[in-house]
Amino acid sequence: MSDRDPYFDNAKFLAIVLVVCGHMIEDLRDDPIAHALYFYVYVFHMPLFITLSGYLSRNFTFSSGKARKLIATLAVPYVLFELAYSLPRLLLYGKLEISLLDPYYLTWFLMSLFLWRLSTPVWQQLRWPLVVAVGLSLLSGTSALPDELSMNRTLGLLPFYVLGLMLRPEHVEVLRRPYLKVVGAVTLAAGLVAALLLHDGIATEWIRWRHANAAIGVDDLTGSLARLGMLAAGAVLVAAFMAVTPSRRTWFSGLGAATMYAYLLHGFVVKAAERLDLGVPVSIALGVVVATVLCTPSVRAAFHWAVEPRLSWAFTALRRPVR
């Protein structure tokens, strides 16, 4: 029997459902309800995914085995899907642009996670890592950073990865207390109400983390306060979501181990759905179905070569560093 904690698999699966549904309604934002839901989900869906990634990366080191896994699960899939997503762009928009340093569409997460994971040992040596990460996030908004290496998102969302690194099992246990499920549900509901009321008055770019303050049209003080607010809102909603996540094994627990498949593959479905007028309810329902199907064992078996390629043939025998 597997000794995996179903809580984290449950959280990962529910997080990927939010990610897919968010992308499914992105093209429908002319509808006020769709725009509000999009805004709400984007405030915390990737922060949630990133925080979980940070928590599950706490044991990362520069050892040979970990380095090889980093290459096989992030670097190689990044190259494959960066190339793969250039094909729909060519077919739909007549554009063929391939730049491995400038991530296209959803491949930015692989690039950013690769860089975050490489930085893990550094954060574990600092006395106040989260303070430093928040400072870098705010400073990144004051400069027109290049698109290469997805620098705006990599630095802007960095605090969520560091937050995950700093969490300990005892912190997570607090969130799993039964009474906090009610608090979490109320907080998520309040966040949805706030999104319905405020989404028209806040620039969408704040929840995308793609541009500097000047590009969004504000001065650095205003921009830094807005970014700090988004970091705080994201952290609160991440905590609330983790509080309502079931701890017991569920029908979807097994699917939570394959969320990277859903993340990397769902973009093709989204691009196809953009050509149709499905409406908000159908798009959300389709997003749930797509996220579920793409985490199943059959999809994992079919696309293992691209998402988790076996590259033992490309590596030398494990060896100790020369002293």
DSSP for 6-44? HHHHHHHHHHHHHHHHHHHTGGGTTSHHHHHHHHHHHHH
- Compute how many other C-beta atoms are within 10 angstroms of the C-beta atom of residue 180: 17
Cα separation, 114 vs 129, whole angstroms: 18
pLDDT of residue 1: 40
- Compute how many other C-beta atoms are within 10 angstroms of the C-beta atom of residue 249: 15
Residue 141 makes CB contacts below 8 A (sequence gap 6+) with 156, 212, 213, 220, 223, 224, 227
Average pLDDT over residues 275-282: 88
Per-residue DSSP letter, 256: G
Integer CA distances (angstroms), 278 to 78, 270, 286, in order? 30, 11, 9
Residue bearing the bigger pLDDT, 171 or 67? 171
What is the three-class DSSP state of 66? helix
* 85 burial level (CB within 10 Å; 0-12, 13-18, 19+): buried
Spatial CA neighbour of 231 closest among 50, 7, 33: 50
SS3 content of the chain, % helix, strand, coil (to 5): 75, 0, 25
Residue bearing the bigger pLDDT, 99 or 103? 103
pLDDT in tens, 158-169: 999 999 999 999
Q: What pTM was estimated for this model as a whole?
A: 0.92
What is the three-class DSSP state of 32? helix
- Compute how many other C-beta atoms are within 10 angstroms of the C-beta atom of residue 47: 27
Average pLDDT over residues 268-286: 90
Query: Looking at the predicted structure, is the pLDDT value of residue 322 above 70?
Result: no
